[in-house]
Structure 1
Amino acid sequence: MHDVVDSLGRRFHATDAATSANDRSQLQAAVDAVDLDTPGVGNAEALREVDALYADNAVWFHHPSYVAHLNCPVAVPAVAAEAMLAAINTSVDTYDQSEVATLMERRLIDWTCGHLGFDGGDGIFTSGGTQSNLQALFLARENVMAGLVGDGGSDPATRPGATTRPDLLSRLRILATDQAHFSVSRAAFLLGLDAEAVVTVPTDTSGRMNAEALNATLLAIEANDQIPMAVVATAGTTDLGVIDPLEPIGEACAAANVWLHVDAAYGGGLLWAPARAHLLDGIGRATSVTIDFHKTFFQPVSSSALLIRDACLFAPTIHHHDYLNPEAEAQSHEAEPNQVDKSLQTTRRFDALKLWTTLRARGANEIGSMLDTVCDLAADVRQLLEGQADFEVLGASDLSTVLFRFTPATAGVEACDELVPMIRRVLFRSGRAAVARTTIDGRPWLKLTLLNPDTSIDDITAVLDLVRATGHGILAGRHITTEGGAA
């Protein structure tokens, strides 16, 4: 353990590039060259081997030229907690496997619910936002179906669910914008909903859900004899980094008696950000909320949570088994707090320990201030780009993403479109910088996702200079002209 820590310490100190710059074929050959069926080589040699194979070729999220995806540098206390929980190997599915670990996780859930305004709420830690969103929509489906066909009580064998009425299942609809995370559509598929189950709600010019259009969409769904299962609002869209107007959306959902799920995987950390907490006003109206602490709380993957406004809404997840959480014991006033009752997972890591340790070491306000710092940096970068003639910038983020394009006067619109994936690929393969790319309304854009509070405007200026130089190099090599297209 000490050897690994020392080696990593040296690497973090000396790393001078975001990626290894090794060709994928080289990496594949190095992986394939390891014979996994030979006798063991011993601890020291095995660790030296994985240091050379993995650590030497890792993507380094702490490096200032890594500005691609929603990957954050991690708080050191959380790394120490990670080693502790891995070594002890607690599973927090039942109390007799975890004891105080279950109590600590439940305390963190209560703490988070308190900040959301969920009095009497509950929650569970998950592997990530995709799982949190899936479980939220599963709970929405089951609770809505139970309300439609009658409540069968707490026994899973008698409780009505989606499979009992396929005619109703096919009518369920999820409302979300085209900026919602792809996990919403995936969840609809996994939950057996109709192919047209996800209904797109129009957005305003900034990419936020239009609350008036939501009201109209809800009315149209009911007029078509369909059933609004849930509305998914996004607090921090992946591409634009904007937050849907939660207060009016909450009012619309309350008036229509519709489950409101807020996907705050990206923006949930704003609850503790001194300068931006107000951007989440209205989140307390939600029925369920996703928060990824491994994004804006600087935690190692994985550390996500699903929070529910009313604890009783977790009932559809409950399944009793004699060897795990016997129903007879669950009825006792001394029942053990078995969290498998609320989780889609059985064996589950004590990931909450990382967040607990970080909170005690750094404090929630300091973590929130770090999030304000990266959001401030995004605003500064956007202002910088707007002042440069050979760059185009799109929109304004509530969080820390910046969408931009290299648009020199020597290249036409189509040529600039072609440059986006090429610039991203050349920079990544060179190891000099890692930027992302996406498409908005049919047009490709480069994307900066800023999640490192130690990154400066000078660091980002250096990345932009690399983008500019790479773009000019591609133009020179391919003879792309103002008319667009490659000669």
Structure 2
Amino acid sequence: MRESLCHSNLVKRDAVLVNGMYLNGPTLDIKTTYKFVEDAVSLILDEAVRKGTDILEKVCEWQPPEKLKEILDLELREGGEPHSKILKRCQDVIRYSVKTGHPHFFNQLYAGMDPYSLVGRFIIETTNPSLYTYEVAPVFVLTEDAVLRKMMEFVGWQEEGDGIFSPGGSISNMYAVNVARYHRCPDIKEQGLSAVPRLVLFTSQECHYSVTKAAAFLGIGTKNVYAVSSDERGKMIPAELEKQVLRAKAEGACPFMVNATSGTTVLGAFDPLDEIANICQTHNLWLHVDACWGGAALLSRRHRHLLKGIQRANSVAWNPHKMLTAGLQCCAFMVRDKTGLLQRCHSARASYLFQQDKFYDMNYDTGDKSIQCSRKPDSFKFWLLWKAVGTYGLEERVNKAIALARYLAVEIQRREGFRLLMEPEYANVCFWYIPPSLRKMPESKEFWEKIHNVAPLIKERMMKKGSMMIGYQPHGGRANFFRQIVISPQLGRADMDFVLDEIDKLGKDL
């Protein structure tokens, strides 16, 4: 059947109707949609990039959930909306989102907006590749390989190794547990948990929660994650690790892995890797280093000593989206092994993707090393950033962030009403604010109970005002304290002063 028709604002001649659908021509009006993209990009650049990084703008425009649902009109309907209305929705989404690129966003272990990685993200989204085979993502397969090789060089693996980018540091740590287990018990891949003894892994009490989650997810069991005591600065105590390993052996269990942390989430502590590596060597344990936060220090000649001994690790997780501002998400998992361990552990040899008779070198088909199928080329934005600023530029970012953290710590000690938890080793600055009403009160249980309520109240006020965002938490027996994270290369001394001035302004009447 042939007829003229008007469909989706297009006039189509000689259209063919099959199963109730006209097959000639596109469903969308290309010119109209291109104009929409142009308008949307202009809006994004103005609202998210320019205003989102402007110190005079708010970090967030707070709305409670029910009110925000009403503003955004979240219901999905049968009919579409005109482009003008969709653009307004885009504007509202940006308006009511937290501006993580704002200079005064200190809430998480990532912050700032790097222009080069941002452009890298634009390219990734517009080319929309999936990183499983060279044939569909040739450029991105090669850039991932180049980035991994360079990162392994800074880890100190002279003969390199192997690696893959994962969707988050938590998944990198899960990779580590899975690969370490496979390395110890290769039969588990085919025979399952029935083929292995009771496995035990060790990690500090300050480690990231993803280690326990990995044990639960992989069937190891959370009770088989033995927490090793840390010292007052949050570092794993090697002698306590040794005791826990011997305890597991005495119980008839099979110790197989130690997770060490380089840059803990709260205190920014670095475990003593050389001493831990000695214990792992003695007991034949896989050593994984979670350097998701602290790995950036490897790029600094001034601060890489914090990770002394990392070259002895069997695997390393490192997130360039944190200190190096490569943009969420950008997370590398690397193994020192060069025998194809990642491939053997995870491969399924899907014949529709990894054909053995391709016309190019199939070693570049890296997808079978991954637990994913579809995988975004997260390394590309870091590659573009690294190309733009060079290793020296990245090093400068690390050095400046740590220097600003030290400046902030000095100011905290100098100012009345502020108390430092401990001298920062990295870019985590932990401190209490003591309002004027409590400054002459004896440090009793009641005093600390009152201090415990201060940080949440100030956090509420700063969020509603939109002036900045800083995290807080209790720790062990300590009352709630602020955890200021210094990352963004946009920051200067005035921003550190602003933080303390603003907290004092928001909390002096408490």
Paired with 1:466 and 1:12, the residues of 2 have a C-alpha distance of 20
Do 1:124 and 1:305's aligned partners in 2 also have CA atoms closer than 8 Å? yes
Pair 1:70-2:109 in alignment: yes
Residue 95 of structure 2 corresponds to residue 56 of structure 1: yes
Q: Is the 8 A contact 2:238 2:275 kept in 1?
A: yes
* Residue equivalent to 2:451: 416
Contact 1:124 1:307 in 2 (8 A): yes
Moved more, 286-295 or 362-371: 362-371
State the Cα distance separating 1:384 from its structure 2 match. 1.2
Partner of residue 313, structure 1: 341
1:344-364 residue CA offsets vs partner (Å, 9 max, x unmatched): 111111221101111111112
Q: Residues 103, 64 of structure 1: CA spacing in aligned structure 2 closer, same or farther, 3 A cutoff?
A: closer
- Letter of the structure 2 residue corresponding to residue 177 of structure 1: S
Check conservation: 2:404, 2:496, Cα contact below 8 A.
no
Q: Output the CA distance in 2 between the equivalents of 1:13 and 1:115.
A: 31
Match of 1:149? none
1:122, distance to aligned residue in structure 2 (A): 0.4
Deviation digits for residues 258-315 of structure 1 (CA, Å, limit 9, x no counterpart): 0011000001111112321121121011111000011011111111010000033212
Deviations 1:54-102 (CA, angstroms, capped at 9, x unpaired): 1111212232322221122132011111111111111111122112321
Identical-residue share of aligned pairs (%): 25
Q: How does 1:216-227 map to 2 (within 5 A)?
A: 216-227=243-254
CA displacement, residues 350-397 of structure 1 (integer Å, 9 cap, x when unaligned): 221101111111112211211111111111111111223412211233
Q: Which residue of 1 aligns with 2:222?
A: 195
Which of 1, 23, 29 pairs up with 2:64?
23
What is the TM-score with the length of structure 1 in the denominator? 0.89
CA distance in 2, matches of 1:46, 1:10: 21
Contact 1:206–1:396 (8 Å) recurs in 2? no
- Deviations 1:376-424 (CA, angstroms, capped at 9, x unpaired): 1111111111223412211233221111111241552211112122222
Task: Please name the residue that 2:285 is paired with.
Answer: 258
Residue 124 (structure 1) aligned to one of 164, 188, 205: 164
Q: Does 1:446 align with 2:482?
A: yes
Q: Does 1:204 align with 2:215?
A: no
Point out where structure 1 has 5 or more consecutive residues left out of the alignment.
147-151, 153-157, 476-487
Distance 2:491 2:44 in 1: 24
RMSD of aligned alpha carbons? 2.1
Question: What code does the residue aligned with 1:204 have?
Answer: D
Q: Are 2:491 and 1:455 equivalent residues in the alignment?
A: yes
- Separation of aligned partners in 1, 2:292 and 2:53: 30
Is the contact made by 1:145 and 1:161 (CA closer than 8 Å) also made in structure 2? no
Partner of 1:323: 352
Structure 2 residue matching 1:348: 3-state secondary structure: coil
> Does 2:187 correspond to 1:163?
no
Q: Which residue of 1 aligns with 2:294?
A: 267
Letter of the structure 1 residue corresponding to residue 472 of structure 2? R
Distance in structure 1 (CA, Å) of the matches to 2:341 and 2:460: 46
Q: Indicate the residue corresponding to 1:480 in structure 2.
A: none
- 1:176 partnered with 2:203: yes
Q: Relative contact order: is structure 1 or structure 2 higher (C-alpha 8 Å, sep ≥ 6)?
A: 1
Structure 2: distance between partners of 1:410 and 1:38: 64
Question: Following TM superposition, by how much is the alpha carbon of 1:193 offset from its aligned partner in structure 2, in angstroms?
Answer: 1.4
Contact kept in structure 1, 2:53 and 2:113, CA below 8 Å: no
Paired residue type of 1:223: A
Partner SS, residue 200 of structure 1: strand
**Cα separation, 2, equivalents of 1:145 and 1:410:** 61
- Report the CA distance between 1:334 and its aligned residue: 4.2
Separation in 2 of the partners of 1:337 and 1:10?
Answer: 39
